[in-house]
A and B are shown apart, each in its own frame.
Chain A
Amino acid sequence: MTGIEGLIDGLSVALTPTNLLLVLIGVVIGMIVGVLPGLGPTATIAMLLPVTFTLDPASAVIMLAGIYYGAMYGGTVTAVLVKVPGEVASVVTTFDGYVLATKGRAGSALGVAAIGSFVGGLLSVVFLVALAQPVANLASEFGPPELFLIALLGLLLVLAIASGSLIKAALMASLGLLITTVGQDPLAGSPRFTFGSLELLGGLDIVAVAMGVFGIGEALSQLTRHDPPITPVGVRSAFPTRADLRASRGPILRGSVIGSVLGVIPGSGGVIPPMASYAVERRLAKDPSRFGKGAIEGVAGPETANNAGSQTSFLPLLTLGLPTSMVMALMFGALLLQGITPGPTLVTDHPDVFWGIIASMLLGNIILLVLNLPLAGVFAQLLRIRPSVIGIVTILVTLLGVYSIGNSVFDVWTAIVAGAIGFALTRAGFELGPLVLAAILGPLLEKNLRISLTMGDGSAAIFVERPIAVVLCVLIVLAVASASVKVLRNRRRPRTGGLQARLDSFHLEPSTEADTGNLTDAHAAEDPKSKRTALDDEPRAADPVQVARRAEQ
């Protein structure tokens, strides 16, 4: 089947009334989640996993995918209107988007962002369609040794590119892997670490753990934050001027390519594509000094790359069974719950799922453009919702969702304990993303490792006897080397902040305070009684990546 034929088949799946409704529901939820501080797409997808039990596999992932790229659109709203990135990928948009808002051009910024995201989304679908079948054909050569190595590679790449401490990320990943060993041995069925408990014999439900870590953990974190209410800048609709559209043409096209290519790299998450786009636009600009002072190109390119990357990040998951980020790991989990293992055989065994997901992205982007242009101001009003209300909604949805997984109170307790431990680990400076990613990949890793060793009569030489496996081994060595270099480099010089480190890596030198200093909501925590508006900020150094990651997790 060619890509075009697959896409047409996929459209026949996506255009059913049920799936159209689910796309709409997904993108609207995603927009809301992207706008609301403290609740990111990761937590939302984790919370809604139980809902997908009642849906068929294609419908389930179509809705969850809609939440993901819908959140990319939504995060732009807060980035522009309040200078708080709704999710990590919108950090870069705060540089110029917020300045545009202070100049009364919020509508232009939001409009260009929406149009750029739409174009990026469409072109990324073309990219997916073009590459999906060839990559899947290559992946069909994979056996258990290759499947083990590629899952290991994905995990290592995520650790290597993690923004926090590599050692602590590795510790969290090992904890996540250990969680999956509780219960029955996947091959022999013998009990492992159950201590005689019947509940533990069934293992710790990874969905319950993920929901606890993200849902309950976020609600507990919200209790310790004292952010003042946010009053967004008023904006009615988001229609850019012709001049803005002309200036945005090039950045949007370049952003589409940059985002589509970088989005498939494991560990790039949502941050690298927009940052790379910003660096490119700044380099290509006739007057780079405009960046940070309201350059529309500084919004158009990154937002396009952001959305394009969010969609092409599905490619490794659907074709190789390799989740490249937390959200993809949860999508992986969602398909596992449906009895489908994403990977090389997905396109042949479940073409409706494979192509249906890709086709739904076309529709989702159309819906988001239609919603964003006239209704950006309406979504912005969601910022007035009190964080405490968001917290209790999160709690109730999470707890009920966890219970509905298996009608088991044990799962609820699992989620509560996971949430408490997740909260404590976060306060202790640990990242939880690697933990959940590893927990989802754990069973796949163990099963393929043991089958591979059986194939090799107990010898690990099988991992270097097969050509594709050798290539993967080399990539693993490079990933480990890259991570080691990163650790050694960090020992030599202190990092001044996540965003600064990212900017340094793209050889960007902030020429204005707006590049690094004028990005904050952090100082608001020092004066909880102040009612901050979007125009009240004073320049203060802060790490917007942290702010956004707090919102994400």
Chain B
Amino acid sequence: MSTTSDAPSVPARDPAAGEATVPADGPRPVVPALLLLALGIAGIVLSIRLPILEENGAGPGLWPLLICIVMTATAAVVVLCPPLRVAIPTARRDVLRVVGALVLLGGFAVLLPAIGLVSTSIIVGALWLRLLTRDSWATSLGVPAGVALVLYVIFVKLLEVPVPVDAWLPR
């Protein structure tokens, strides 16, 4: 977790140390807070459409309304107070790595019900290790295969959890 401060002046720190820095005013660090602010406002609007109070107590809209008011207020403070808008700088190649990772994770979600646990794990794991973390082919294939087989034994054979199993494996 980053170390942040509400103090108006915080010295910039070494980003390689993984600590937060206070950037010069820029749009990027404020985007998450703005999105949360928008979410809070949208939540207030949607909550008001639900019954807030009913004759014998609170309606379904009261609790989300209270939450969204707090969310909007705190998000507004974060947007408006520069020292709170800190971010850990991320190199472009790391951003691309994360995007690639998310694509692979989406691929897992699509492939798992289609081709089963072991094949999906090997494909996704191999691509992850080879393309994202630049491991050797031996590691990229061996580790996912080993993990997949262990998961198969634990989840399918021992715990009898109904997960999709490859056609070539016994259930």
Binding site for B on A (CB under 8 A): 50-51, 53-54, 163-168, 170-171, 174-175, 177-178, 181, 185, 187-188, 190, 192-193, 216, 219-220, 223-225, 386, 388-389, 391-393, 395-397, 399-400, 403-404, 407, 409, 412-413, 416, 419-420, 423-433, 445-446, 449-451, 453-454, 456-458, 487, 490-495, 497-498, 520, 522-523, 525-526, 542-543, 545-547, 549-550, 553
Contacts and interface: CB of A to CB of B under 8 A. Distances in A.
Given A51-B159, A397-B151, A520-B17, 17 more contacts: A174-B68, A174-B71, A192-B64, A219-B101, A223-B101, A388-B135, A389-B139, A395-B124, A396-B147, A396-B151, A400-B112, A403-B112, A403-B163, A428-B33, A449-B58, A458-B53, A490-B7
B38 interface: no
Contacts of B2: 164, 426, 429, 546
A458 B35 CA distance: 34
Contacts of A457: 56-57
A498 B20 CA distance: 12
A525 B16 contact: yes
Contacts of A432: 1
Nearest to B146: A393
Interface string B53-82: 101111111111001101100110110010
Interface in B125-171: 125, 128-129, 132-133, 135, 139, 143-144, 147-148, 151, 154-155, 159-163
A335 B54 CA distance: 32
B3 A494 contact: no
B46 interface: yes
16 contacts: A53-B161, A192-B50, A193-B64, A224-B98, A388-B135, A395-B128, A399-B108, A399-B109, A400-B163, A409-B109, A413-B109, A458-B57, A495-B7, A520-B17, A522-B19, A523-B17
Question: Which 8 A/B pairs are nearest by Cβ-Cβ distance?
Answer: A454-B57, A522-B17, A388-B133, A185-B60, A174-B71, A171-B74, A224-B94, A429-B86
Contacts of A400: 112, 117, 121, 151, 155, 163
Contacts of A386: 135, 139
A427 B94 CA distance: 12
A453 B58 contact: yes
Interface residues of B, number: 87
Per DSSP, are chain A's interface residues mostly helix, strand or loop, or mixed? helix
Nearest to B37: A171
A392 B144 contact: yes
B155 A404 contact: yes
A216 B31 CA distance: 22
Nearest to B128: A392
Contact of A446 (B46, B63, B68): B63
Nearest to A553: B1
A192 to B, nearest CB: 6
Nearest to B152: A400
Contacts of A392: 125, 128-129, 133, 143-144, 147
Task: Identify which of A51, A177, A427 gathers the most chain B CB atoms within 10 Å of its CB.
Answer: A427
A395 B105 contact: yes
B57 to A, nearest CB: 4
Given A175-B71, A223-B132, A427-B88, A412 B109 contact: yes
A389 B132 CA distance: 12
Contacts of A458: 53, 55-58
A412 B5 contact: no
B20 to A, nearest CB: 5
Contacts of B67: 174, 177-178, 181
A492 B151 CA distance: 53
Nearest to A450: B58
Nearest to B104: A395
A545 B2 CA distance: 10
B71 A495 contact: no
A494 B11 contact: yes
Contacts of B102: 220, 416, 420
Contact of B98 (A51, A53, A223, A451): A223
A429 B20 contact: yes
B128 A429 contact: no
Task: Identify which of B9, B50, B148 gathers the most chain A CB atoms within 10 Å of its CB.
Answer: B50
Given A170-B70, A494-B5, A54 B161 contact: yes
B25 interface: no
B84 interface: yes
Nearest to B57: A454
Contacts of B75: 171
Given A224-B94, A392-B129, A171 B71 contact: yes
Contacts of B105: 216, 395, 399, 416, 419
Nearest to A402: B109
Interface in B4-29: 4-11, 14, 16-20, 29
Contacts of B11: 494
Contacts of B155: 400, 404
B36 interface: yes
Given A224-B98, A396-B144, A416-B102, A546 B9 contact: no
B97 to A, nearest CB: 5
Contact of A416 (B17, B46, B57, B106): B106
A51 B55 CA distance: 44
A546 B3 contact: yes
A530 B106 CA distance: 34
A525 B112 contact: no
B1 to A, nearest CB: 4
B74 A522 contact: no
A396 B125 contact: yes
A188 B101 contact: no
B169 to A, nearest CB: 14
Given A171-B78, A429-B20, A546-B2, A192 B9 contact: no
Contacts of A424: 32
A168 B79 CA distance: 11
Nearest to A460: B58
A495 B5 contact: yes
Contacts of B133: 223, 388, 391-392
Contacts of B41: none
A168 B143 contact: no
Contacts of B154: 51
Contact of A224 (B10, B81, B86, B97): B97
Nearest to A223: B97
Contacts of B32: 424-425, 428, 430
B71 A178 contact: yes
